[in-house]
């Protein structure tokens, strides 16, 4: 075996330029494969990082009717009521519904010392932290005592603190401070990670406090709940159909009207995102492999040229007793050697490129007009991808040399000796 590798190395050294050009095509192909997969990982990691909804939750919003019913025309606005939360406890829905809460939204002026801002005030329950996956930097979220006693407390976003105290400030210094919402004084009890949406500052307050202050009565903006047991698209679709029918009838709307209320299902949304991710990953693999194939075809062509140039040599080998297996091994090893050596160079450069993308572009918000969005999060590839790429390289090198090797192994000694 050692002699075989020495002979292959000697052959490659005699054709340095040809070997280098062929190897470059292989290295470029695997480089592009790794970079494409890394970029795809970065995009989908960013989607996952920006997704802030619990996977087994739904949110119900009032909408506009699209069908006439009981004398009402189409286009009637449906407004949700506090009492609608009880509908989720009906026998048809209660089996899968867990916790239920409501949300009420208003806009008002926030004042802290000399700082003024127009903010969205969200009256929420403690359940919002779980459903919205609210990440706290400091302090705490709204709790049940805040609700029961209608306390004037507020949880503010990190981008608001950045505006008040400057970037890089210690968020914990805001906990315990007081600020005005409208004409009333509120105590800051927590700071949460904001989504960096410009000109849109969202603060959380107890639902009962906000509905009392703004005299909301029975009105709510949305109803949120967690659920269990809906593990298939069909089960989710059937549940939402029942939910719409019950809510529509409660608001004198056609039970078959799909527009009267809007239901956001985080579970099915996550499934759709997962399908899109799988489709994109397949597309990236296909593009990368097609690029890699161009290099593999080059290896195969070079091996065919090598076989043609060495036909006389192979004839002599067979004439003095060399078996087809030894010639087959010689060509295959040479093909795999070129593919593996330059392939690993391309893989190394590809991994370096993904690390460079991670350092330069990952976790850096990009201004897209109305918001700052993180486009890349950890655009790197794992060891599983490196292992798959290794198998791909070995298989590609073997396939690239198979036809030339077969041709060389079955050359007839008389014809080979006569070749020039």
Query: pLDDT tens track of the chain, all 420 residues?
Result: 556 556 666 666 666 777 777 778 888 888 888 888 888 888 777 766 555 556 789 999 999 999 999 888 999 999 999 999 999 999 889 999 999 999 999 999 999 988 999 999 999 999 999 888 889 999 999 999 999 999 999 999 998 998 888 877 889 999 999 999 999 999 999 999 886 555 578 999 999 999 999 998 899 999 999 999 888 889 999 999 999 999 999 999 999 999 999 999 988 887 777 777 788 888 888 887 787 777 777 777 777 777 666 666 767 777 777 777 777 777 777 777 777 788 888 888 888 888 888 877 766 555 544 445 556 677 777 777 767 776 777 777 777 777 777 777 776 666 655 655
Give how far Cα 275 sits from Cα of 8, 229, 270, Å: 46, 21, 9
* Residue 369, pLDDT score: 44
pLDDT at 50: 54
Task: Name the domain boundary from 166, 199, 226.
Answer: 226
Residues composing the chain:
420
What Rg value do the Cα atoms of the chain yield, rounded?
33
**For position 188, what pLDDT does the model report?**
96
Burial 258-283 (b: 16+ CB within 10 A, else e): ebbbebebbbbebeeeeeebeeeeee
User: Domain tally for the chain?
Assistant: 2
Q: What distance, in Å, lies between the first and last C-alpha atoms of the chain?
A: 29
Residue 310 domain-assigned?
yes
Note whether residue 359 is domain-resident. yes
Question: From CA 156, how far away is CA 166, in angstroms rounded?
Answer: 15
Last residue of a domain, one of 226, 245, 267: 226
Cα angle 218, 219, 221 (rounded to 5 degrees) comes to 145
For strand 184-192 and strand 136-139, is the pairing parallel, antiparallel, or unpaired?
A: antiparallel
Residue 109 lies in domain:
101-226
The verdict on residue 156 lying in a domain is: yes
Asked if residue 238 is part of any domain, the answer here is no
Residue 246: the pLDDT is 94
- Domain for residue 194, yes or no? yes
Q: HSE (CB half, 13 Å, CA atoms) of 200?
A: 9
Q: Which pLDDT score, from 0 to 100, does residue 55 have?
A: 76
Indicate whether 286 and 194 sit together in one domain.
no
Whether 93 is covered by a domain: the verdict is: no
Whole-model pTM: value is 0.66
pLDDT value of residue 44:
75
Tokens 């090198």 identify what position?
Answer: 397
Same domain, 179 and 295: no
> Do both 33 and 138 map to the same domain?
no
Are 281 and 398 part of one and the same domain? yes
Instruction: Looking at the structure, tell me whether residues 121 and 209 fall in a common domain.
Output: yes
Same domain, 111 and 185: yes
Given this model, what pLDDT does residue 371 score?
A: 45
**CB-based contacts of 217, cutoff 8 Å, min separation 6:** 211
Same domain (yes/no): 139, 21: no
At residue 227, the pLDDT reads: 93
> Do 152 and 34 sit in the same domain of this protein?
no
Q: Looking at the structure, do residues 118 and 46 belong to the same domain, yes or no?
A: no
Cβ-Cβ contacts under 8 Å for 130 (sequence gap 6 or more)? 54, 99, 226
């Amino acid at each position: 075996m050692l002699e075989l590798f020495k002979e292959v190395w000697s052959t490659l050294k005699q054709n340095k330029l040809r070997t280098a050009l062929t190897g470059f095509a292989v290295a470029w192909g695997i480089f592009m494969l790794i970079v494409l997969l890394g970029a795809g990982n970065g995009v989908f990691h960013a989607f996952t990082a920006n997704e802030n909804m619990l996977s087994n939750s739904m949110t119900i919003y009032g909408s506009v009717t699209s069908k006439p019913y009981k004398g009402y025309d189409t286009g009637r606005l449906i407004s949700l009521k506090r009492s609608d939360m009880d509908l989720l406890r009906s026998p048809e829905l209660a089996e899968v519904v867990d916790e239920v809460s409501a949300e009420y939204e208003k806009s008002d002026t926030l004042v802290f010392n000399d700082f003024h801002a127009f903010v969205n005030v969200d009256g929420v329950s403690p359940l919002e932290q779980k459903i919205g996956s609210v990440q706290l930097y400091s302090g705490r979220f709204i709790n049940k005592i805040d609700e029961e006693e209608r306390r004037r407390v507020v949880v503010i976003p990190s981008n608001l603190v950045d505006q008040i105290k400057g970037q890089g400030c210690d968020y914990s210094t805001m906990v315990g401070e007081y600020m005005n919402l409208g004409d009333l004084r509120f105590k800051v009890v927590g700071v949460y990670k904001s989504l960096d949406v410009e000109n849109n500052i969202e603060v959380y307050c107890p639902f009962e406090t906000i509905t009392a202050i703004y005299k909301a009565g029975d009105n709510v903006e949305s109803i949120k709940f967690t659920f269990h047991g809906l593990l298939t698209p069909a089960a989710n679709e059937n549940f939402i159909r029942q939910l719409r029918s019950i809510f529509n009838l409660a608001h004198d709307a056609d039970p078959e009207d799909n527009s009267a209320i809007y239901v956001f299902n985080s579970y099915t949304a996550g499934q759709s995102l997962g399908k899109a991710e799988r489709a994109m990953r397949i597309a990236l693999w296909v593009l990368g492999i097609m690029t890699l194939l161009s290099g593999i075809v080059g290896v195969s062509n070079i091996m065919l040229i090598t076989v043609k140039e060495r036909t006389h040599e192979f004839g002599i080998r067979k004439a003095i007793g060399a078996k087809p297996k030894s010639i087959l091994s010689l060509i295959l090893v040479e093909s795999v050697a070129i593919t593996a050596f330059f392939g690993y160079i391309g893989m190394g450069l590809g991994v370096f490129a993904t690390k460079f993308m991670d350092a330069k572009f990952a976790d850096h918000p990009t201004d897209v007009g109305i918001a700052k969005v993180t486009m890349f999060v950890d655009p790197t590839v794992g060891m599983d991808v490196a292992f798959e790429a290794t198998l791909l390289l070995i298989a590609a090198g073997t396939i690239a040399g198979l036809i030339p090797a077969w041709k060389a192994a079955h050359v007839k000694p008389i014809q080979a000796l006569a070749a020039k």
